[in-house]
Amino acid sequence: MIITTYAAIEIGSTQASMKIFEVSKKNGIRELEYLRCPLEVGADTYSLGRISHSVANRLCNILIGFSEKMKEYSITDYTAYAAGVLREASNSLLVLDQIKLTSGLKVRIISNSELRFYIYKALALKESQFNQIIAEPTLILDAGAGSIQLSIYNKSALCSTQNIRLGSIRVREILFQMKNSISNYQQLASEYMSNSIAAYIKKYLKNIKIRHIIAIGNYTNFTFRYLRKLLNIHESLVDKKTFHAFYEKITSQSFSSLEKQFSLSEDATALVLSTAMVIDKFLLESKCEDILVSDTTLCDGIVAEYAQKKEKITPAHDFQADIISTSQNIAARYECDVKHYQNVSYLALAIFDQVKKYHDLGKRERLLLEIAVILQDCGEYINMTAIAENSYHIIMSTEIIGLSHIERCIVANLVRYFRDFPQFKEFDALFSKDDYIKLHKLNAILRLANALDQSHMQKLSRVSLSLKDSVLTITANTLHDISLEKGIFENNAVFFEEVFGIQAKLNQKR
Amino acid sequence: MSSKTETKKETIDFYATEYYKNRELSWIDFNYRVLGEAKDKTIPLFERLKFLSITASNLDEFFMIRVASLRDMVHAGYTKPDIAGLTPKQQLEKISEKTHELVKAQYSIYNRSFLPLLKQNGLEIITEFEKLNKEQEAFVNRYFTKEIYPVLTPMAVDSSRPFPLIRNKTLNICALLKDKKNEENYDFATVQVPAVLPRFIEVPASKDATTSLILLEQIIEKYIDKLFLNYEVVCAYPYRIMRNADLSIDEDEAADLLIEIQKQLKKRQWGEVIRLEVEADIDKRLLTVLKQELKVKEHDIFKIKGPLDLTFFMKMYGLDGYDHLKVPKYIPQPVPALNHEEDIFTQIRRGDIFLHHPYETFDPVVDFVRQASKDPNVLAIKQTLYRVSSNSPIIASLAEAAENGKQVSVLVELKARFDEENNILWALKLEQAGCHVIYGLRGLKTHSKITLVVRREEDGIRRYVHLGTGNYNDSTAKLYTDTGILTCSNPIGEDATAVFNMLSGYSEPESWNKLALAPYWLRDKFYELIKRETEHAKAGRKAVIKAKMNSLCDKGIIAALYEASHAGVKIDLIIRGICCLRTGIPDVSNNITVRSIVGNFLEHARIFYFYNDGEEEIYMASADWMPRNLDKRVEILFPVEDKKLMKEALQILDIQLADTLKAHIMQKDGSYAKIDKRGKKALCAQDYFCEQAVKAAKNTEKARKKEDMKRLFEPM
């Protein structure tokens, strides 16, 4: 039996942590160690905008410790991610370099949407009730130190995910800076957060009746451990009333007495408090029934992703479908033409599959293409003059769960260019040459497919494709007049041929 | 009925000071119990000498730490009363009174029993040099000139030479000198009895003795005039001082803990003098000088009728030729569950292994580390070390493991009392070998005894853990009764990993599977366990607690036990040393019994049993029920879960509770008395365990031989 020992490292806002796992086909994922080191990197980032020298040094020391620990298991395979806390720091690259030089560990900055995606993957693996819960409308509330992530599952599919920058550290830093007496911290924090939460609820929970909340995050876990201890509760699901009673109980006390009870520092107590506040607000406002708390962390997500990639485990939930369904929901928000993108999607993917030999792109690129198709017309929502440009901007500022930042850029750029295609140097440092080529190829397919439903009438709902002697023949089985499509198709076929060296032909079979 | 108890409960304050005993006085009681063993005529003479010696070294330590600490409190104007309502000053007064009595009792035994008894057995201690015969005198003369004289540093005190520094715990001789030229002035002089020479010297035997011994200070006194040639020595007497030796390190200020401790070691000898021992008939003029120069109060002076510092009896025990006056040496037996053929990991995988030292040998623990150091599949070894023997095979194995490329982490407790110098030394040695040495957590002594071996096996990583109640010290493991387990249980392995991560400075785990650790969780765990028993009793169910430890002086725990007793929980405690709980107080502690076992082996194991309405639970720990163990140290409580092992652990408690020979029972007035043996079967728990271990080892040996026989090829 092949057993891999693997380390997953997360640099978060309030702590750096590492989990060591054993991954095998037979036993799946087994956690061997969980190391946590409190370090408030977030306090620097969210108030100074950069990471101070002393914090960076301490971070390096922690990572040296991690790399020592990896030696204990002779681990060579690891992934280290830093989340928002480094993403938002102006000197992040220098800090990463310092880490590399001192500890030998290569840390990558992970985008928020990737991070959440990994965590949800792990959530599905770790929580046996996950699939059962998300069959009903469920809100996943990840109250982090930098931000709160809110995702909605409906009928077992992810429909939306939003990030609100209301993380507990962020709130604390702002309120502590105001030098208000700590005694009314609860009230201030509550006021400060109310507006954003209300806005979210109004916008996203308007048409959906949330039944359950799944909560994750460090301080969420602490809060619930404390709740369980205080109220002597052992069930994994906690109902709304119980939580509210607990919340009332802790907020009726002075800040200093809470510090004592939690046996936490003033800083950490503030974090627990704001986390509890967020949970309570959502429980009350969303009309849900109960809340499940999971101790899943990014480290679990990292290993879930790794194990799946190495085919050591089969995923417990179809996450690819989640990515597509969230994209569809975004499209719905911008009132995109569903029939149109469904048709173009069918055509684009058919072309993608047919010319596989010529582009050598994988499943992941196929997914990006599909998302681009779904979202390509969302710019119409803004105005009809600069649709592609608008779509580009919308996509760039919309979280698409599961996509890394670079992947989102690919999707956005795919829909941005329908006439010319910019030269490599025009993309600054954003894309590598490989990315550029990838983008180029996908763009050619997208254009060709788009041409086939130029009229938005889905005239080509049944096509057959053949590829012979560098000629791609698309045969449309339709009675409609496709002269318009044909014309546009031919224009785009030139670009297609430039890219792939394949001639594209459109035939009609009546 | 229940409402009646409820109202009663409200009226009882389980924290009332009259329900508690002062810990220092309780400790003195313990030393009396040890002294009782020295008095016990049924015990072989040399064993009795040993007990007397122990009372002396115990008393030294007591002064250096406890009395010193109380003195500090008085100096600092600290007046907060203790658990029994006594202020530091009141405690010191009572201690002074009781220790003076104790010392009197020590020397009464020495003079009235030991000297004549030893003589009867042909061993003579020459108490005064005047009693030496010619032959002996010649021998002593040679010995003085050749061995002693070169290492003596006599120091006279006069206007140009200040009073010298007298070292803590050393034996000295002071002399009154008269200038041969100047008749009027008397001078004071002092000389240290060299610690490098043996305290007693065998001289040619007197007529009616087989062995004659003389104490070193007697020889020096005899020839003291040779040290002060220009003076006439008027008189000379031995004296000894005790100084404040409690280390208090301000950890916030110490940048490097190690350096700070080294500094403290040098400073220790400068502490305040808290006890002066002098020979009873010392010259008044000498005593006045000593009192003045050492700044000693009258009540801190002990006038001794006999040799100072009786700890030399421990060395005397080693004299050859007196085996008939000693208890035959017990040889720790092999552990029945373990064999020598298979590696220890295979055997642990078969099931948890229970260890009961010194009845069973400590070898498996040493082997555990040794085999791990050589096993190619072992990735890492982690261990906490508190006190180790001077030539520890465990240290050697750890160093070897590091040299073999294993990741070795060793937590060295530098602040193990009186062992600091030793510990610093081998900590450096381990570091040189490539071990990762950690020094524990700020402000907390690491007292837990845990070893973790991480091994890569076919089906993944497996963790092997040893948890014990005693130090990883192969020498003391022959004398201290301790228990331990070897296990590869996954939940315990996970906890063990978390323990070491915590000790290396990582955050505590979000929850513990099986272990309960001090300082953060252990106290609550004990409260919970006791409270659960109380609830059972309240509900009319059977409720029992049996616990064995070294000391019980934690107010919270005692109050919880009182409450439990009040509710009807039957509590039997086996507490060797200090016990601040009182038994037999109506409505408070009449369901509690306390017994202390003082025997040839030092009782050291901590075992806790809870009946729990039939779902019995049994735990072992490195901690006593003392505030320092529960609040200021890293300690581990671990459950014994295997049914077979539970039985063994419970048997230890039950046999000790049935002991009729060595047990002292606490009486209602707080004093201790031996059991009235009439009508009871004579049972000495320690002897019983020895016999059992020998029997068990024999049986396994037989069974193994039988197995071997089966394997023989039989000729046709």
Q: Are residues B168 and B119 in the same domain?
A: no
Query: Does any domain span residue B601?
Result: yes
How far, in Å, CA of B258 to CA of B246, rounded? 17
Q: To which CATH superfamily is domain A128-295 assigned?
A: Exopolyphosphatase. Domain 2 (3.30.420.150)
pLDDT, position A32: 92
| A22: contact with B, CB 8 A cutoff | yes
CATH domain A319-509 topology: Hypothetical protein af1432 (1.10.3210)
Q: What is the overall mean pLDDT for chain B?
A: 88
Give the model's pLDDT for residue B1. Answer: 39
* Contacts with B460 from chain A: Cβ below 8 Å: 3, 22, 24, 27, 30
Residue with tokens 């096509």: A463
CATH number at residue B14: 1.20.58.310
User: Does A73 contact B454 at a Cβ distance shorter than 8 Å?
Assistant: yes
Half-sphere exposure of A502 (CA within 13 A, CB side): 25
Q: Which residues of A touch B454 (CB under 8 A)?
A: 72-73
Q: CB–CB of A37 and B380 under 8 A?
A: no
Q: CB of B499 within 8 A of CB of B450? A: yes
Q: How far apart are CA B630 and CA B637, in angstroms?
A: 11
Q: In this complex, is the C-beta atom of A97 within 8 Å of any C-beta atom belonging to chain B? A: no
pLDDT over threshold 80, residue B261: no
Contact B380 A72 (CB under 8 A): yes
3-class SS at A83? Answer: coil
Write down the pLDDT at residue B522. Answer: 93
User: Using CB atoms within 10 A of its CB, is residue B254 exposed (0-12), middle (13-18) or buried (19+)?
Assistant: middle
- With H, G, I as helix, E, B as strand and everything else as coil, classify residue B389: coil
Residue B691 lies in a domain: no
Same domain, residue pair B284 and B325: no
What is the Cα B558 distance to its own chain's centre? 23
Say if B208 falls within a structural domain: no
Which region, left, alpha or beta, applies to residue A351 given φ > 0 means left and ψ of -120 to 50 means alpha? alpha
Tell me, yes or no, whether B715 lies in a domain.
no
ipTM above 0.90, yes or no: no
Same domain, B314 and B385: no
Those of residues 435-454 in B touching chain A at CB distance below 8 A are 436, 454
Q: How far is B436 from chain A (nearest CA, A)?
A: 10
Please check whether residues B49 and B174 belong to one and the same domain.
no
Mutation choice for B interface testing from A20, A27, A31, A33 by most B CBs within 10 A: A33
Query: DSSP label at A395?
Result: H
Give me the mean pLDDT over the B383-406 stretch: 88
Binned at pLDDT 50, 70 and 90, residue B65 comes out as confident
**pLDDT value for B158:** 78
Per the domain annotation, does B371 fall within a domain? yes
Record: contact A1-B505, CB cut-off 8 A: no
Candidates B407, B459, B460; nearest CB to A72 = B407
Tell me whether residues A1 and B458 touch, CB distance under 8 A.
Answer: yes
Nearest to B507 among A3, A38, A71 (CB): A38
Residue A150: enclosing H or E segment and its boundaries? strand A148-154
Is B440 inside any structural domain?
yes
Alpha-carbon distance values, B525 to A20, B283, B301, B538 (Å):
29, 59, 45, 20
Looking from the CA of A394 toward its CB, the CA atoms found within 13 Å total: 25
Residue of B506, B510, B523 to mutate, interface with A, max A Cβ within 10 Å: B506
* Minimal C-alpha gap between B641 and chain A (Å): 22
Per cent of chain B over pLDDT 70 is: 93
Segment B354-374, tens digit of pLDDT: 999 999 999 999 999 999 999
Q: For residues B86 and B179, state if they share a domain.
A: no
User: Is the CB of residue B461 less than 8 Å away from at least one CB of chain A?
Assistant: yes
pTM: 0.83
Total domain count, chain B: 4
Is the same domain home to B194 and B101? no
| A35 vs B contacts (CB less than 8 Å) | 501, 506-507
State which of B480, B514, B548 marks the end of a domain.
B514
Mean pLDDT throughout B54-73? 86
Least CB-CB distance to B510: which of A33, A72, A221? Answer: A221
Q: What are the chain B neighbours of A295 within 8 Å (beta carbons)?
A: 510
B700: in domain: no
- Of B436, B459, B510, nearest to A225 by CB-CB distance is B510
Residue B249: what pLDDT? 42
Give yes or no: residues B522 and B407 share one domain.
no
Choice among B356, B357, B447, B566 that is catalytic: B447
Q: What is the mean pLDDT of each run of 10 residues along chain A (510 residues)?
A: 89 90 89 90 81 90 92 90 84 90 91 85 83 87 82 84 78 66 67 81 82 86 84 82 87 78 78 84 82 89 88 77 86 88 90 87 90 90 87 87 84 84 76 86 90 84 86 86 85 87 84
Do B298 and B188 fall into the same domain? yes
Statement: residue B5 has pLDDT above 60: no
Closest chain A CA to residue B500? A35
- pLDDT above 60 for B260: no
Give the residue numbers spanning the domain of B665.
517-683
B460/A24 touch (CB, cutoff 8 Å), yes or no: yes
CA distance B126 to B123: 10
Between chains, do A225 and B454 touch, taking CB under 8 Å as contact?
no
**Topology agreement, domain A4-111 and domain A128-295:** yes
pLDDT at B72: 75
- Residues in chain A closer than 8 A to B459 (CB atoms): 1, 3, 27
For residues B488 and B438, state if they share a domain.
Answer: yes
Sequence-distant (6+) residues with CB within 8 A of A493 are A448, A503, A504, A505
Token duo for residue A452: 């086939």
Residue B266: pLDDT above 60?
Answer: no
Domain boundaries, chain A: 4-111, 128-295, 319-509
Cβ separation B460–A71 shorter than 8 A: no
**All residues at 6 or more sequence positions from A326 whose CB lies less than 8 Å from its CB, including other chains:** A158, A159, A160, A161, A400, A401, A402
Q: Are residues B471 and B364 in the same domain?
A: yes
Helix (H, G, I), strand (E, B) or coil at B657: helix
Do B569 and B498 belong to one domain? Answer: no
Q: Grade residue B255 by pLDDT with cuts at 50, 70 and 90.
A: very low
Encoded tokens for B151: 């290492």
Q: How confident is residue B319, by pLDDT bands cut at 50, 70 and 90?
A: confident
B578 and B658, same domain (yes or no): yes
The CATH number of the domain holding residue B184 is: 3.30.1840.10
User: Which of B436, B459, B506 is the closest to A36 by Cβ?
Assistant: B506
State the smallest CA–CA distance between residue A73 and chain B in angstroms.
6
- Whether residue B175 is predicted with pLDDT greater than 80 in this model: the reply is yes
Q: Token pair for residue B102? A: 């104790």
Question: What is the reported pLDDT for B361?
Answer: 94
Cα atoms found within 13 Å of the Cα of residue B383, Cβ hemisphere only:
30
Q: Is B436 a catalytic residue?
A: no
Quickly list DSSP for A85-128: HHHT-TTHHHHHHHHHHHH---EEE--HHHHHHHHHHHHHHH-T
pLDDT, mean of residues B82-94:
92
Q: Do B509 and A34 touch (CB under 8 A)?
A: yes
CATH topology of domain A4-111: Nucleotidyltransferase; domain 5 (3.30.420)
| 8 Å CB contact of A36 and B505 | no
Q: How confident is the model at residue B362, as a pLDDT?
A: 93
Q: CA-to-CA distance for B374 and B584, rounded, in angstroms?
A: 56
Q: Is A152 helix (H, G, I), strand (E, B) or coil?
A: strand
B510/A295 CB distance under 8 A: yes
pLDDT digits (tens, 9 = 90+) for B592-646: 999 999 999 999 999 999 999 999 999 999 999 998 889 888 999 999 999 999 9
Q: Residues A236, A292: contact at Cβ < 8 Å? A: yes
